[in-house]
Structures are given as structure tokens and as C-alpha cells.
Amino acid sequence: MNANQMIEQTEKWVKAQLKNEKTGHDWYHIRRVTKQAKEIATIEGADELIVALASLLHDLIDDKVVTSVEEGLKNVTDWLISIGTTEEQRKHVITIITTISFKGGNNGPVSTLEAQVVQDADRLDAIGAIGVARTFIYAGSKGDLMHDPSLSVRENVTIEEYRNGRSSAIGHFYEKLLKLKDLMNTNEGKKRAELRHQFLENYLQQFFDEWGEE
């Protein structure tokens, strides 16, 4: 199986895995991340096969999406074996998808250019107009309020607190979204993040104007 066939087959497989996903980590999110990652990989000179596979697979081991991270990892590894990747390629893809998540700021910096590219593409989909929409969908899926002025913004939280503690959609802007611009890795990622970050700032200003109390 050549690289294009590996990517094409993986697209079909991932799409089937995420057909019922309702937290904003659906197939369309994967498609957008993969498209941006491929574009950034071309500009930055990263391995496009590794970037494409990691982008397509990155949410199939995420605890926001799957009930068992271990099972998700096994399924992804088995899939990569089935399409004919080398052991080195599998290790690289697995390393990327297990280290790029924000997790309340608890994950350290990633180690390869390919990981930087995939992380940037994933983070770009968390900011801008799409990022705003996904934030409210995710908050709703957790049962969080749109905005709760009585809740303070959480800083330096554990992964457990970040995932399961009380917050709101607007709180998530301050806990994650507004931090992402300064956490981008590649020059192209930084460039793309500027405009989307400005949208977040403008959105919040409009939101609080309409909210009327802050």
C-alpha cells in the first residue's frame, strides 16, 4: 500500500469511528485539522505521511472521545499495522497522538517537527469562529453552562480537575483558547493563529457587552 492509499484507507476508517461523535471532535474536525496540517507540513518541510496519519488518528485515543485510552491505543496500533506502516512510522505516529493534547496545560512541549505541525493544526481548530462553536458544543456535552460569573477561572489545574471540574463555555476561553496563540510551534502556525486569536478577543468583547453585567 502506497502513502496515498494508507491515507485514503485511514480517512474511511476514522470517519466510521467518529460517526456518532457529538463533542466537537467529530469527523469534520479531523478533516479540517488534517487539511491544515498537510498545508503547514508542506510549508515547514515535515514528513507529510506521518503528519497526515497522526492528524487523522489523533482523537481516537483521547479521553474526551473514547471510554478507554488503552483500548484506543491498541485499535490505532492494530490499524497502523494493517495498512503496512513500518515500526518506526508507528512509533512516531503514536508518540505524536499521545503528546499533543493540551490537558489543562499539563503536557510538555512536543519533540519532532511533525508533532509540532499536527499540534498547531489541532490548536488552530480550537480558536477562531470554529473554535468558538466547538467550545459551546463541548460545554453543552458536559452539561456546563454557557457562562457563570460566579465561577473563577481555573489556573494550574490537574488533568482530572481540568476534565471533570466545574467550568463554563466562557471559562474555557480563559483556561485554554486564549493561551493557544502563544503556544504555537511553527512559523506558519503562529501566523495563522494571529487572526483567529483576534476573533476570540472580539467575540468576548461582544459577548460581555450583550451579557450586560461585566
Reported as a single tens digit per residue, the pLDDT across 87-139 is 999 999 999 999 998 765 556 788 899 999 999 999 999 999 999 999 999 99
How many Å apart are CA 138 and CA 78, to the nearest integer?
29
Alpha-carbon Rg for the chain in angstroms: 17
Give the range among 11-15, 150-154, 188-192, 205-209 with minimum mean pLDDT. Answer: 150-154
Distances (CA, A) of 131 to 18, 39, 115, 156, 163: 19, 19, 21, 22, 18
Answer for the pair 118, 38: CB distance below 8 angstroms, yes or no: no
Long-range contacts of 62-66, Cβ-Cβ distance < 8 Å, separation of 24 or more: 62/25, 62/101, 63/163, 64/23, 64/25, 64/138, 64/163, 65/18, 65/21, 65/23, 65/25
Q: Is 47 left (phi over 0), alpha (psi -120 to 50) or beta?
A: beta
**Residue type at position 30:** I
pTM of the entire structure? 0.90
Residue 181 in this model has a pLDDT that exceeds 60 = yes
Mean pLDDT calculated for residue range 73-89: 96
**Phi, psi at 190, each rounded to 5°:** -60, -40
Q: Which residues contact 82 (CB under 8 A, 6 or more apart)?
A: none
The residues that bridge with 5 in the sheet, in sequence order, are none
- Kindly state the cell numbers that stand for 23: 463533542
